Amino acid sequence: MAELLGTFEQSVLLSIFGLRDEAYGRAVLNHVQKLLQRNVSAGAVYATLERLEARGLVLSRLAEGSPARGGRARRYYTVAGEGERALSETQKALTAIWKDVQLPIQEGL
């Protein structure tokens, strides 16, 4: 069984899914902020992307940059098969954990 993902990692992976072919760093940053409904630092998003890529959960490719970026390259991300599996297992685990819980949580659970 793959290691379960944290909330932030799930947000980053789901953002890459949601953005499809447009999932590069800046777009992922803005999408994660929208998903979590709070300001998120660029450092946290890029560090998470690096970590997910090192674990084989996302793949990346470089593309040419635009003049607005001073000609600097863009890195586009896609979720790898391993990433989809990790998301799916995390969802299953969370659903199982919450299955019999009713809020507000009753004593003696």
Partner 1 sequence: MKMPAHEPPRWAERFLERLLPARARQVVVGDLREEYVESMLPLRGKLRADLWYIQQIASFMPHFSQERGPMGTILSFVSWFCLASTCWLAVMEMLLRHDGYELRATMAGGFALICLATILVRMLRLGKRSERWLWAGAAVLIGCGGEAFLHNATADHFEGFAVVISVVLLLQGTLMLITLGRPAKGNARPLETTLG
The footprint of partner 1 (CB under 8 A) covers: 24-26, 29-30, 41-44, 46-47, 50, 62, 65-66, 68-70, 72-75
Of 73 and 93, CB closest to partner 1: 73
Q: Can you say whether the dihedral through the CA atoms of 79, 53, 9, 82 is positive or negative? A: positive
We find the least distance from the C-beta atom of residue 95 to partner 1, in angstroms, to be 31
Residues 6+ apart with CB under 8 A from 31: 15, 18, 19
Of 60 and 94, CB closest to partner 1: 60
We find the least distance from the C-beta atom of residue 51 to partner 1, in angstroms, to be 9
Exposure on the CB side of residue 65, measured as CA atoms within 13 A: 11
We find the least distance from the C-beta atom of residue 18 to partner 1, in angstroms, to be 18
Of 7 and 41, CB closest to partner 1: 41
Residues 6+ apart with CB under 8 A from 29: 40, 42, 45
